[in-house]
Structure 1
Amino acid sequence: MADAQVSRVVVARHGEALYESELLSDAGGWLSPQGRVQAVGLAEQLAGERITRVCTSDMSRAVQTGEIVAARLEVDVVVRKGIREFGVGAAAGTTGVPDPFAGTFAAWVSGDLSARIPGGESGDEVVARWTSVLEEVADEHRDGTALVVSHGGVMSMVLPLLATNLDPGHARDRPIPNCGSAVVERQAGRWVARSWLGDQLAP
């Protein structure tokens, strides 16, 4: 039966990036030389997985990471806007010091998804768009493993809320570095994290 099938997705953060300005914006940035090395390393780590497709956010640092990995694994790349980083909202053009997102992010992790980044998205909106893409990917790749290349902030917030075996604050103690990854599986509508940064997890 369809609901007994397991869909496996590797979710990875993009490689180290450089930006045109140090001021906060929703611009995509691009991979640094180190970021390209990290992307190659990610591809090598995934050689044992049966990756059938790479899906990236529409931000260039994620697209470039995904293209490097896909070329090594000889699979195609698709782009989905819904898995981009949460927007900076009214903080655009500021230095980001002190962290303008700390209060909102803390509220999200504590379960208040109605909290909103000033001028930007609420937690509910971020979770909805990001999860929608992950569900789409899971539905399309029941016969293999898909790689999703996304961003550190949104991954750290959504994955622990989505996976039933993770504490909502899991990423506080195990932040996701550039090209770090988690493996999640969906069966019968339930998401479970199988590994986080290479460490196996209890279901």
Structure 2
Amino acid sequence: MGDLQCAARVFVARHGEADYESELLSDAGGSLSLLGREQALGLADALAGQRIAHVYTSSMSRAVQTGEIIAARLGVGVTVRHDLRELGVGSHAGQPADPDPFRPVFDDWIDGRLDTPVPGGESGSEVVARVCGVLEEAADRYRGEAVLVISHGGAICTAIPNLARNLERRFPLSRPLANCGVVELAADADGWIVRSWAGEQLPM
């Protein structure tokens, strides 16, 4: 991040509930369900008092749809960033999601071994770096303002605990982020802190 004159506030939210063409693992984008659209409108209304200046969103369709619904409600613009996408499924594509084939890799990431890759996919370090790049872009561009970033559960729960100085890597295990759940970050010259996670205020 640049030398910020005043802290930027970044709200990072998971996309709304989505429907998928298949229950097998895939990097397909999915499409918001009716409930997902209602969740997006509800999130827009919940953030109306925060004076959101702009919305950034993952390039995956379920996130783009969430971001566009919210941005239209708030009357702000949308920027799509591929680096906010969900973790790639790698060589697990076409396999069932249960039992969870990613568990061994996630366990390594939680223990700090971020260089472990998803078979045929990216490492935890790569996920953290790409998400961090967009968060820093948003914070630098909207200094002293608030911005909303729409991403995905895996990407959020991997990146933020490794970026925020007041959060442990294991924190999301006991507090999974629901659809349209929000993490509030503050950015200053010293880096990132989490102000709240899904409504829970955190010590700073």
TM-score, normalised to structure 2, is 0.97
Aligned CA RMSD, in angstroms, stands at 1.1
In 2, distance between residues paired with 1:2 and 1:18? 42
Matched, 1:65 2:66: yes
How much does 1:167 deviate? 1.1
Deviations 1:113-170 (A, max 9, x none): 1111000001111111111111111111113100000000111111111110011111
How much does 1:202 deviate? 1.1
Deviations 1:26-52 (A, max 9, x none): 010000000001001100110110100
In 1, distance between residues paired with 2:108 and 2:180? 26
Matched, 1:125 2:126: yes
Q: Is the 8 A contact 2:139 2:187 kept in 1?
A: yes
Map 1:9-20; keep pairs closer than 5 Å: 9-20=10-21
Q: Is the 8 A contact 2:117 2:124 kept in 1?
A: yes
Q: Percent identity?
A: 55
Q: Secondary structure at the match of 1:186?
A: strand
Deviations 1:3-48 (A, max 9, x none): 4420110000000000111111101000000000100110011011
How much does 1:59 deviate? 0.2
Q: Which residue of 2 aligns with 1:50?
A: 51
Q: Is the 8 A contact 1:11 1:183 kept in 2?
A: yes
Matched, 1:140 2:136: no
Q: Is the 8 A contact 2:128 2:159 kept in 1?
A: yes
Q: Which residue of 2 aligns with 1:192?
A: 193
How much does 1:98 deviate? 1.5
In 2, distance between residues paired with 1:123 and 1:180? 22
Q: Secondary structure at the match of 1:42?
A: helix
Q: Is the 8 A contact 1:38 1:178 kept in 2?
A: yes
How much does 1:96 deviate? 1.8
Q: Secondary structure at the match of 2:9?
A: strand
How much does 1:197 deviate? 0.7
Q: Is the 8 A contact 1:26 1:87 kept in 2?
A: yes
Q: Secondary structure at the match of 2:55?
A: strand
Q: Which residue of 1 aligns with 2:155?
A: 154
Amino acid of the residue matched to residue 130 of structure 1? Answer: V
In 2, distance between residues paired with 1:127 and 1:46? 26
Amino acid of the residue matched to residue 143 of structure 2? Answer: R
In 2, distance between residues paired with 1:66 and 1:177? 16
In 1, distance between residues paired with 2:139 and 2:5? 13
Runs of 4+ that moved beyond 6 A: none
In 2, distance between residues paired with 1:199 and 1:4? 27
Amino acid of the residue matched to residue 15 of structure 1? Answer: G
In 1, distance between residues paired with 2:82 and 2:95? 24
Q: Which residue of 2 aligns with 1:115?
A: 116
Q: Is the 8 A contact 1:3 1:189 kept in 2?
A: no
Q: Which residue of 1 aligns with 2:94?
A: 93
Q: Secondary structure at the match of 2:42?
A: helix
Amino acid of the residue matched to residue 148 of structure 1? Answer: V
In 2, distance between residues paired with 1:21 and 1:159? 29
Amino acid of the residue matched to residue 115 of structure 1? Answer: T
- Name structure 1 gaps, 5 residues minimum: none
